[in-house]
């Protein structure tokens, strides 16, 4: 993946990254990208992580309503914003989990994703978050992937999608990823596209993550 032409150079000072959360969201699906985007620094090392001075992203969680979210396994998370109060979103992360199934028929979420995508330079998904993007038509005619257990479902939602059953990170906009931990690779690939391989690799080193080749 090369640099995204969607972002004007001046906008790359600090991007607003919204992590969408909902009941029965898979924990690592949202926590992986949250970790990567919130811990990336343009200056490497441990000390730079003590503050936000060289942080290229401002990361926050968004849910339909600001009520406690119960993620898979029972983890309780409090969203920072609801759909009405979220700041402008430059980069949207749509994670997966069993909770996506009921959202496929939930108009307020589908409409919000559509609206955000219309104004956001970059939309991404982890795991079965791709099903929600497919439902909104955002993957029409595009390459995409999802969790291995949902590849057929993804194809069935929109038969114009070019489903990639091999790679962990697929597409340049939306950028989709395979299941759960592949969201970490996805986030690092976005960091690399925006800020270069050195910054992405240093972030991977900070979180001691072995990037997929």
Long-range CB pairs of 165-168 (<8 Å, 24+ gap) are: 168/212
Binding its own copies by CB under 8 A: which of 16, 54, 114, 181?
181
Which 83-112 residues touch its own copies, going by CB under 8 A? 98
Residue 68 beta carbon to its own copies: minimum distance, rounded to whole angstroms: 6
Q: Does 202 bind its own copies (CB under 8 A)?
A: no
Whether 127 is catalytic is yes
Instruction: Match 């909770």 to its residue by tokens.
Output: 99
Q: Which of 53, 159, 166, 208 binds its own copies (CB under 8 A)?
A: 208
DSSP structure class, residue 208: T
Q: Is 80 in the site for its own copies (CB under 8 A)?
A: yes
- 42 binds its own copies per the rule CB under 8 A: no
Site mask, its own copies, residues 121-160, x = CB under 8 A? --------------------------xxx-----------
> What's the DSSP call for residue 48?
G
Three-class SS string for 110-162?
HHHHHHHHHHCCEEEECCCHHHHHHHCCCCCCCEECCCHHHHHHHHHHCCCCE
User: Nearest-CA neighbor of 43 among 31, 33, 35, 51?
Assistant: 51
Closer Cβ to its own copies, 60 or 110, answer by number: 60
Q: Which of 60, 137, 151, 201 binds its own copies (CB under 8 A)?
A: 60
Rounded distance between C-alpha atoms, residue 92 and residue 18, angstroms: 5
φ, ψ of residue 165 in degrees (nearest 5)? -95, 5
Active-site annotation, residues: 127
Q: Which residues are at the interface with its own copies (CB under 8 A)?
A: 26-28, 31-32, 34-35, 38-39, 45-46, 49-50, 59-61, 68, 72-80, 98, 147-149, 168, 178-182, 184, 206-210, 212
């Amino acid at each position: 993946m090369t640099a995204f032409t969607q972002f004007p150079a001046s906008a790359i000072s600090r991007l607003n990254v919204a992590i969408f959360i909902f009941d029965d969201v898979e924990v690592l699906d949202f926590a992986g990208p949250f970790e990567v985007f919130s811990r990336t620094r343009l200056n490497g090392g441990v000390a730079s992580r003590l503050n936000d001075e060289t942080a290229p992203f401002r990361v926050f969680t968004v849910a339909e309503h600001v009520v406690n979210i119960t993620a898979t396994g029972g983890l309780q998370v409090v969203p920072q914003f609801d759909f009405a109060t979220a700041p402008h979103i430059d980069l949207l992360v749509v994670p997966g989990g069993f909770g996506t199934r009921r959202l496929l028929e939930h108009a307020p979420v589908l409409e919000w994703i559509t609206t955000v995508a219309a104004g956001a330079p970059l939309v991404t998904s982890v795991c079965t978050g791709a099903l929600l993007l497919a439902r909104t038509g955002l993957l029409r005619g595009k390459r995409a992937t999802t969790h291995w257990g949902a590849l057929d479902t993804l194809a069935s939602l929109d038969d114009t999608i070019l489903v990639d059953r091999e790679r962990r990170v697929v597409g340049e906009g939306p950028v989709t990823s395979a299941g759960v931990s592949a969201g970490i690779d996805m986030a690092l690939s976005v960091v690399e596209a925006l800020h270069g391989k050195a910054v992405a690799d240093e972030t991977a080193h900070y979180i001691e993550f072995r990037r997929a080749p």
